[in-house]
Amino acid sequence: MNDMSTEGYTTADGRKIGGTLMEMKNITLSFGGVKAITDISFDIKEGEIRAIIGPNGAGKSSMLNVISGFYIPQQGEVWYQGAKRPQMRPYEVARQGIARTFQNIALFDGMSVLDNVMTGRLNHMTTGLFAQGLWKGKAEREEVENRERAEKIIDFLEIQAIRKTPVARLPYGLKKRVELARALAAEPSLLLLDEPMAGMNVEEKEDMSRFILDVNDEFGTTIALIEHDMGVVMDLSDRVVVMDYGKKIGDGTPDEVRNNQDVIDAYLGVSHD
Ligand SMILES: Nc1ncnc2c1ncn2[C@@H]1O[C@H](COP(=O)(O)OP(=O)(O)OP(=O)(O)O)[C@@H](O)[C@H]1O
């Protein structure tokens, strides 16, 4: 059965957005007595930058974890590339082309930037150790391709100068960029960013915003990001889902969401720089 909408749209800045890539249908997720997500539905279209925002504890991380297969909702369906997704482990979701970054950086601290980015290529290594022994040529070709791809992304995100540096020595903002590089190395169809700007200073936030826009523009990558800070995402996103206490209270373009009374109420008294 194909439930994929072909309906796209054109953004205010003239970019063409395609049909539905992912659809969350009536998702409900509880932890014991705590309902983290209550009956939420929304879609993500090909090529768009889609944000999920909301105050503390709204359920944003839980939703990202449902998309990436870390949490299995008690109710609802996840549709991806036109098919209902069966229950899957996170590594299987990753193999389907969904890559993510984490709120708390999850890199290999002792390894160089290049080696960390190379770990993003693991899903593209078809030759296992045994096969590498039998078909040395194929394994070598694959290694060269993987390296070329990693280097291309390193150039693109302007981290060439630190490609040999162990990640542990990098400042926070650069670590976040390396994490983005690693996720991109997987050539994802859908890139999930978990609070990519959290803990950053204004300049780092501006850099990260620019890289997110450039990635979307250059590689056509569909991006879904969650963010606490409403101001940051409004300039960046094509459409925004707003969550509050596990419920969806708004969904639309940044302008629509900004003028939504429920959203204004939810954010009143909540500081967001
Ligand atoms: N593993 C868990 N076990 C129990 N409760 C959880 C778990 N994860 C989240 N929750 C609860 O679910 C609700 C939603 O949390 P979630 O982390 O998804 O919100 P959030 O919008 O991402 O918040 P923040 O902006 O603070 O990161 C909260 O009440 C939280 O305490």
Long-range contacts of 247-252 (CB under 8 A, 24+ apart): 247/38, 247/39, 247/40, 248/40, 248/41, 248/42, 251/42
Number of neighbours of residue 77 by Cβ within 10 angstroms: 14
* pLDDT tens digits, 53-67: 999 899 999 999 999
- Cα 4–chain centre separation: 21
Whether 29 and 130 map to the same domain: the answer is no
What is the number of domains present in the chain?
A: 2
ipTM rounded to 2 decimals: 0.95
* pLDDT tens digits, 241-260: 999 999 999 999 999 999 99
Question: Is position 130 within any domain?
Answer: yes
Question: Is position 87 within any domain?
Answer: yes
Whether 21 and 81 map to the same domain: the answer is yes
Asked whether 68 lines ligand 1 (CB < 6 A), one says: no
Query: What's residue 105's pLDDT?
Result: 74
Domain end marker among 186, 207, 238 = 186
| pLDDT mean over 156-184 | 94
**Atom 30 (ligand 1): residue with closest C-alpha?**
57
Query: What's residue 273's pLDDT?
Result: 44
Mutation test of ligand 1: which of 29, 30, 34 has the most ligand atoms closer than 8 Å to its C-beta?
34
Query: What's residue 132's pLDDT?
Result: 59
Question: Is position 42 within any domain?
Answer: yes
Question: Is position 104 within any domain?
Answer: no
CA distance 241 to 12: 18
From ligand 1's centre to the CA of 62, what distance in Å? 6
Range of the domain at 35: 1-97+188-273
Whether 224 and 266 map to the same domain: the answer is yes
Domain end marker among 186, 205, 236 = 186
Instruction: For residue 34, name the pLDDT band (cuts at 50, 70, 90).
Output: very high
Whether 93 and 199 map to the same domain: the answer is yes
Q: pTM for the whole thing? A: 0.89
CATH number of the domain within which 219 lies: 3.40.50.300
Query: What's residue 220's pLDDT?
Result: 93
Question: Is position 200 within any domain?
Answer: yes
Whether 192 and 79 map to the same domain: the answer is yes
Query: What's residue 135's pLDDT?
Result: 62
Query: Higher model confidence: residue 18 or residue 137?
Result: 18
Taking the CA of residue 61 as reference, the ligand 1 atom at the shortest distance is 22
Mutation test of ligand 1: which of 29, 31, 100 has the most ligand atoms closer than 8 Å to its C-beta?
31
Whether 1 and 91 map to the same domain: the answer is yes
DSSP code string of 175-227: HHHHHHHHHHHT--SEEEEESTTTT--HHHHHHHHHHHHHHHHHH--EEEEEE
Asked whether 194 lines ligand 1 (CB < 6 A), one says: no
User: What percent of the chain is helix, strand and coil (3-state, nearest 5)?
Assistant: 40, 25, 35
Question: Is position 105 within any domain?
Answer: no
Domain end marker among 139, 166, 186 = 186
Whether 39 and 53 map to the same domain: the answer is yes
* pLDDT tens digits, 202-232: 899 999 999 999 999 999 999 999 988 777 8
Asked whether 61 lines ligand 1 (CB < 6 A), one says: yes
**Atom 14 (ligand 1): residue with closest C-alpha?**
59
Whether 159 and 224 map to the same domain: the answer is no
Mutation test of ligand 1: which of 52, 62, 193, 271 has the most ligand atoms closer than 8 Å to its C-beta?
62
Whether 38 and 173 map to the same domain: the answer is no
